[in-house]
Amino acid sequence: VVVTYGISRDRISVKVDFSLLLKRNLQRIAILNEQSSRFFRRYSDSKGTKLIDEKIGSWETVEAEWASITDL
């Protein structure tokens, strides 16, 4: 996934390119900003990784079959 940010005087644009993403069995894609990141406090994935609050890093590569972020 390639994300491109454009910043001008009165707006920020975000372009997300999913053309290289394997979309088989894909149900949903969520694009989150820094404000919404405060809401999601629990991370888990198909490899058994479970993280809460500050243990969740930013810009981490997810190599699991699926991943989930939720509130507690």
Residues of the chain with pLDDT under 50: none
Separation of alpha carbons 23 and 28, rounded Å = 10
**Helix H or strand E segment including 36:** helix 34-37
In the prediction, which pLDDT does 35 show? 60
In the prediction, which pLDDT does 55 show? 92
Closest by Cα among 29, 33, 36, 28 to 5: 33
